[in-house]
Amino acid sequence: MDDGPEDDLSVTPPKECAAGLPAVRHALEYSLGQTSPRRTALTLLTMNQVDGTDCPGCAWPDPAPGHRHRNEYCENGAKHINDEATSRRVTRDFFRRHSVSELSRRSDRWLNQQGRLTEPMVKRPGSDHYEPISWHDALGLVATELTSLGSPDEAAFYTSGRVSNEAAFVLQLFARAFGTNNLPDCSNFCHESSGAALHETLGVGKGTVTLLDLEHADLILVVGQNPGTNHPRQLSALEQAKLNGARIIAVNPLPEAGLLRFKNPQKPRGVIGSGTQIADRLLQIRLGGDLALFQALNRLLLEAEDERPGTVLDQDFIRSSTTGFDEFAEHVRATTWKEACARTGLVRAEIEAVRDEVLRSERVIVCWAMGLTQHRHAVPTIREVVNFLLLRGNLGRTGSGACPVRGHSNVQGDRTMGVWERMPDGFLDALQREFGFDPPRAHGLDSVDTIRAMRAGRVKVFLGLAGNFVRAAPDSAVTEEALRGCRLTAHVSTKLNRSHAVCGDTALILPTLGRTERDVQESGEQFVTVEDSMSEVHASRGRLEPASRLLLSEVAILSRLARMTLDGTVDVPWDAFEADYGTLRDRISRVVPGFHDFNARVARPGGFCLPNPVNEGVFPTPEGKAVFTANVGDAQPVPPGHLLLQTLRSHDQWNTVPYTDNDRYRGIHGDRRVVLVCPDDLAGLGLAEGDRIDLVSVWTDGVERRAPGFEVVPYPTPAGCAAAYYPETNVLVPLDSVADVSNQPTSKGVVVRLEPAAP
């Protein structure tokens, strides 16, 4: 990339407190750097309000109507929404000046900073520039390519979590009417392991808690999650829980600022006081050590019950509502302390202290994110978390439960709308009844399998609806080669990103409305809907004038594409869907369980909540009960002289898009190509602070995966564990290094060695 870091690297001590007035300042600085004060005010004051715009950032829920702050957003949400609302524009003149080759050498930050896309663009075979194309011709080109494929399964339709429920439903309907279940989506990279584990053990692949539960828990474990950067509004809920008397235990390899202390900028104690301590205990666990931790904890709880029968475990609940307990108990009793301490990097006393906290607590919640899901043993790990919750009946009661925290606003809703390559027959039958065509039944491809198929030439057309697939995916070199091998890549996007520069023979940029923009169709102004991490479905409306008159909404783009591609072969009213999203919601209400009276219910302030059967005493597993499991698994073995690397976001970043080169919470300024290493490891590796190294990952295929030119920064991370930012380090994650069962890339468990960089 020829646009380098903003400044030379400087390192300051990591912060021990998140948010506060600096968060407000940074949010406003970034926002006002993108757009006018008027637009900034409009976006921020309507964000996450009833009748306002849903933050396109993370999937943290909003408080009930009437209980929201006037400023109901976090620093990163503010940056994200004004990054979208930017006044900068990318025009046809830009593409004349910058070739695709040149764009492919530009950094993610530079590409993002160029502004909003304004009209459809096409890169034709053999050309190195995008040129303007009309919507009719652009969609006609896609339709022609699709209909000339040898099989519908030679196409893949990717969704990212910004996509609304309506657009997601239209996309999967189109794909299935076209004849394929190839529906990769960004959750394949994020919480697929959670869905797999929860579905198997509880019968529901979603979290079971609401904001109210968090506020009334006695104990909250925040495991493998960094709310200060990735879900900052969660800190408000944790602060409220603390004020209500809850204890919080954080389990994380890094002492993240948001786990230590929170200065709520909307409260006096956060502005002029010292804020609220978040974690009462921080367990700095080794990467991938969480399965061993929960097994050790579960063993301690069983032993406590042995000592005081009937006082520790919820025997009534275990007897009446679970299965598999005996096998689980026998397995977990056989785990050893030697193994537990080696895998966790913790001492026995630390784990026993957690046990003591648990025994003092009637209601316990476990929150987690990528720190659990992005390891090869992620599914067994999350199953073990469920075992832990089941032991003392911490499911189905207020203030208790499982809380996977999703990091993209509608990633949960997209899956609810049917964006999954393995939808059950019940859903496909409902589609068939409603629309009169036979959806394909053979399972399709998820994201990893789509890359494999593109590489092998079995997928020739890739349509991406939002997101930045090439930078979200692992094994960057393989993914890029796979995309370049396609006949056509087309992306429905708001801003420029690397996915537009790494493209097929023919490539299309299809610019679309952002969440912040008014969406006016034939029947009038429209709204879309989203579903947050706690299964609350609500509306989102934009207020700004669109960035260009030539933008179409995602629903409009997909409806027109479907009409042109399918040419009346299915009886689906694509025109009506485009003209009035209410007609689309009526159809959704008859296909997707729980969405009856969709239009009426979502029009209520705050929308509606999809009930979780677990909270109504129902575990929809084949046995009709919650399932205890016996789990085995470990992180990748790390040879001597190597480290286990986790890829992570900086604080000034949202998903694949860095806003600056700073990570102020971790004390990193001016450069993102850094690797955080435990000081105890430096000597053993013959390295010192400031050394320039290349990161090289190790995998069974013998292929060298190298991320060159990183600077070593000593950091308080457990020995043997390192950290570096993605997407720069996605190149190190082998495509075939995936979690068992879920096929999710192991982005937090990469074996690397540090080699001196070439001079």
Partner 1 sequence: MSVVTEMVQVAVPVRTAYDQWTQFESFPRFMSRVGKVTQERPTLTHWTIRVGPLRRGFHAEVLEQHPDAHVSWRSLDRHLQHHGSVTFQSLALGRTTVTVRLHLVGWRGLGVPAPLRAVVRRMVRAELGRFQEYVEGVGDAGETWRGTIHDGRVLQLQKEPPDTPGWPHG
> Which residue ranges make up the site for partner 1 (CB under 8 A)?
185, 187-188, 190-192, 194-196, 198-199, 203-206, 212, 215-216, 243-245, 314, 316-317, 320, 393, 396-398, 411-412, 415-416, 420, 422-424, 426-427, 535, 592-594, 596, 609-613, 615-618, 620, 744
CB of 277 to partner 1, least distance (A): 18
CB closer to partner 1, 474 vs 658: 474
CB closer to partner 1, 420 vs 577: 420
CB closer to partner 1, 72 vs 446: 446
CB closer to partner 1, 206 vs 263: 206
CB of 49 to partner 1, least distance (A): 19
How far apart are alpha carbons 568 and 107 in whole angstroms?
Answer: 43
Cβ-based burial of 532 (10 A; exposed 0-12, middle 13-18, buried ≥19): buried
CB of 336 to partner 1, least distance (A): 33
CB closer to partner 1, 158 vs 699: 158
Cβ-based neighbour number of residue 552 at 10 Å: 22
CB closer to partner 1, 132 vs 594: 594
CB closer to partner 1, 68 vs 397: 397
CB of 364 to partner 1, least distance (A): 13
How far apart are alpha carbons 13 and 692 in whole angstroms?
Answer: 20
The answer to whether residues 165 and 588 touch, using CB atoms and an 8 Å cutoff, is yes
CB closer to partner 1, 187 vs 526: 187
CB closer to partner 1, 316 vs 701: 316
CB closer to partner 1, 152 vs 207: 207
Q: Which of 107, 130, 106 is nearest to 119 (CA)?
A: 130
Cβ-based burial of 706 (10 A; exposed 0-12, middle 13-18, buried ≥19): middle
Q: Which amino acid is at 85?
A: A
CB of 362 to partner 1, least distance (A): 9
Q: In the structure, how many helices (H) and strands (E) does the chain have?
A: 31, 33
The answer to whether residues 293 and 301 touch, using CB atoms and an 8 Å cutoff, is no
Q: Which of 244, 203, 200 is nearest to 220 (CA)?
A: 244
Query: Which residue has 């026998």 as its token pair?
Result: 330
CB of 43 to partner 1, least distance (A): 29
- C-alpha neighbours within 13 Å on the C-beta side of residue 514: 26
Q: What does the longest C-alpha to C-alpha distance in the chain come to? A: 76
Cβ-based neighbour number of residue 664 at 10 Å: 18
How far apart are alpha carbons 571 and 758 in whole angstroms?
Answer: 61
Dihedral class, residue 583 (left if φ above 0, else alpha if ψ from -120 to 50, else beta) = alpha
CB of 382 to partner 1, least distance (A): 12
* Torsion angle defined by CA atoms of residues 291, 296, 298 and 303, in that order, rounded to the nearest 10 degrees: 170
| Token pair of 133 as six digits | 């194309």
Rounded to the nearest 5°, which phi and psi values hold at 631?
Answer: -120, 140
CB closer to partner 1, 281 vs 397: 397
CB of 317 to partner 1, least distance (A): 7
CB of 361 to partner 1, least distance (A): 14
DSSP 3-state assignment of 148? coil
Distances (CA, A) of 40 to 57, 78, 207, 543, 684: 16, 9, 33, 12, 50
DSSP 486: S
The answer to whether residues 396 and 145 touch, using CB atoms and an 8 Å cutoff, is no
Q: Which residues does 358 contact at the CB level (< 8 Å), separation at least 6?
A: 219, 297, 301, 364, 392
| Token pair of 731 as six digits | 């190149």
CB closer to partner 1, 613 vs 708: 613
CB of 679 to partner 1, least distance (A): 37
CB of 359 to partner 1, least distance (A): 17
Polymer length in residues for the chain: 759
Give, for 316, the enclosing helix (H) or strand (E).
helix 315-321
CB closer to partner 1, 370 vs 722: 370
CB closer to partner 1, 212 vs 271: 212
CB of 273 to partner 1, least distance (A): 20
CB of 701 to partner 1, least distance (A): 26
Dihedral class, residue 467 (left if φ above 0, else alpha if ψ from -120 to 50, else beta) = left
- C-alpha neighbours within 13 Å on the C-beta side of residue 746: 25
**Beta bridge partners of residue 171, listed in sequence order:** none
The answer to whether residues 739 and 379 touch, using CB atoms and an 8 Å cutoff, is yes
CB of 407 to partner 1, least distance (A): 12
Distances (CA, A) of 296 to 20, 171, 228, 302, 358: 37, 45, 28, 10, 13
CB closer to partner 1, 535 vs 662: 535
How far apart are alpha carbons 272 and 21 in whole angstroms?
Answer: 9
Q: Which of 484, 436, 460, 578 is nearest to 153 (CA)?
A: 460
CB of 413 to partner 1, least distance (A): 9
CB closer to partner 1, 179 vs 404: 404
Cis amide leading into 727 (omega within 30): yes
Q: Which of 248, 388, 373, 261 is nearest to 314 (CA)?
A: 388
CB of 478 to partner 1, least distance (A): 21
| Token pair of 197 as six digits | 């584990």
CA 132 to chain centre: 33
CB of 294 to partner 1, least distance (A): 20
CB of 458 to partner 1, least distance (A): 23
| Token pair of 121 as six digits | 């663009």
CB closer to partner 1, 524 vs 620: 620
CB closer to partner 1, 190 vs 254: 190
